[in-house]
Amino acid sequence: MPISDMQSMTSFPRTLVFFDLETTELEPSIGDIIQLAAVSGDHTFNVYMMPEVAIDKRTTAVTGFKVENGTLIQDIHSYKTTVTLHQALTSFIAFLRSLKQPVLLAAHNSKRIHRNKLEKELYRCALTDQFKQLGSRYLDTCQLSKALFPGLGSYNQNNLSYPFLGKIDIAHNALKNATALQELYGCWNPDQESVIQYSF
């Protein structure tokens, strides 16, 4: 179904929001969030945060993120304007609230990584109640892709781009990843039952 028609699901009306995050560690479940981004149709959200802990050297080698002279940069000369974690999460909740309610937060590996990390940081910032008031649920697009297309060699999001979109899409940028996931989802065009099955 078209992304804009997600609200028409009779038993599970949700506005679909694709989101991703980058952290100070290559394993997103640990470390500090340094970028949080989301996309829903033409609506986008993207913020950067100054980490409280050092960015792992392996992470810098892969993603290009590092801190120099108190400034967050990604690759050469790409300086990022940052906000606090609390400001970022407050803005994210406001972004979600601006969309037609309720929303379905879709991320690749959301059940294993994204939900836990996001909700841990919401708790740290005393924003759990505000977030829960939205009534948002999650969709794990990795599990969904495995159910829709069994037998693929890899279900890593980057590796799914070529067979479905005809392009190699390797980005260490949360907004680009969220946008690419929205494009992948549109290509998959999953049925309502599958979306409900892999939502939680």
For every residue of the chain, DSSP letters joined together read --GGGGGG-SSS--EEEEEEEEESSSSTTSS-EEEEEEEETTEEEEEEE--SSPPPHHHHHHH-EEEETTEEEESTT-EE-EE-HHHHHHHHHHHHHTSSSSEEEEETTIIIIIHHHHHHHHHHTT-HHHHHTTT-EEEEHHHHHHHHSTT-S---HHHHHHHHHSS------HHHHHHHHHHHHHHH---HHHHHHTB-
Q: Which pLDDT does position 97 carry in this prediction? A: 97
Residues whose CB falls within 8 Å of the CB of residue 119, separated by 6 or more in sequence, listed in order: 128, 131
- Stretch 171-192: mean pLDDT, rounded? 93
How many domains does the chain contain in total?
1
- Stretch 32-50: mean pLDDT, rounded? 97
The answer to whether position 8 is within a domain reads no
- Give me the CATH number covering residue 95: 3.30.420.10
Highest mean predicted confidence (pLDDT) among 3-17, 51-65, 81-95: 81-95
The answer to whether position 87 is within a domain reads yes
Q: Which pLDDT does position 12 carry in this prediction? A: 58
What digits encode the pLDDT tens for the residues 42-70?
A: 999 999 999 999 999 999 998 999 999 99
Q: Which pLDDT does position 185 carry in this prediction? A: 97
Mean pLDDT of the chain: 90
Question: Given a cut of 50, is residue 184 above it in pLDDT?
Answer: yes
Q: Which residue segment(s) compose the domain that 18 sits in?
A: 14-197
The residue assigned the tokens 């108190």 is 70
Q: Which pLDDT does position 13 carry in this prediction? A: 62
The answer to whether position 75 is within a domain reads yes
